[in-house]
Amino acid sequence: MLEYTLLASLLLLQSSYGPGQKVLVCLLSYHASLSYAGVGSMSMPDGHAIVEVGTRRLLPSFMAGGLLLSTTTSYDLGHGHRKWHQPESLLLTLAGCLRYLPMIGQTRRQLHRNLRLRGWITSP
């Protein structure tokens, strides 16, 4: 019951702050994980069982992290950690991660565009 309450509250928060597409994807992946687990754990291969358990246990954490990163600026996040007297090494690591996280998507798009321009990628 606690798992469902946590998921419902995170879905409600995500729907109020962000687009409904993220909520739908999270809800469908969680539902698929639950329905796959209902098929029977005895006939489930080990790899599939790990994915199913990982989806059920880690999806709320990823949803909360995504919500935190999309609604909070890096300055506010760093200031909050400083108020909690976190070590400076943790703050520097967090600031570095937050600084370069958006650049990963930009670099991937640029690399994909360049590879397609040279003809190395032919499919969409």
Question: For residue 31, what are the CA distances in angstroms to 8, 65, 81?
Answer: 12, 20, 35
What is the residue-averaged pLDDT of the chain?
81
pLDDT for res 35: 72
Mean pLDDT in residue range 53-59 = 81
Each domain of the chain, given as residue ranges in start order, spans: 1-71, 74-124
| 71-123: pLDDT as tens digits | 888 888 888 889 999 898 888 888 888 888 778 888 988 998 898 888 887 66
pLDDT for res 83: 92
Whether residue 66 contacts residue 12, with contact meaning beta carbons closer than 8 Å, is answered with no
Mean pLDDT in residue range 16-25 = 79
pLDDT for res 110: 92
Residue of 124 and 65 predicted with greater confidence:
65
Residues whose CB falls within 8 Å of the CB of residue 115, separated by 6 or more in sequence, listed in order: 121
pLDDT for res 123: 67
Quick one: which H or E segment has residue 63?
helix 46-71
pLDDT for res 40: 54
Residues whose CB falls within 8 Å of the CB of residue 66, separated by 6 or more in sequence, listed in order: 14, 22
Quick one: which H or E segment has residue 22?
helix 20-39
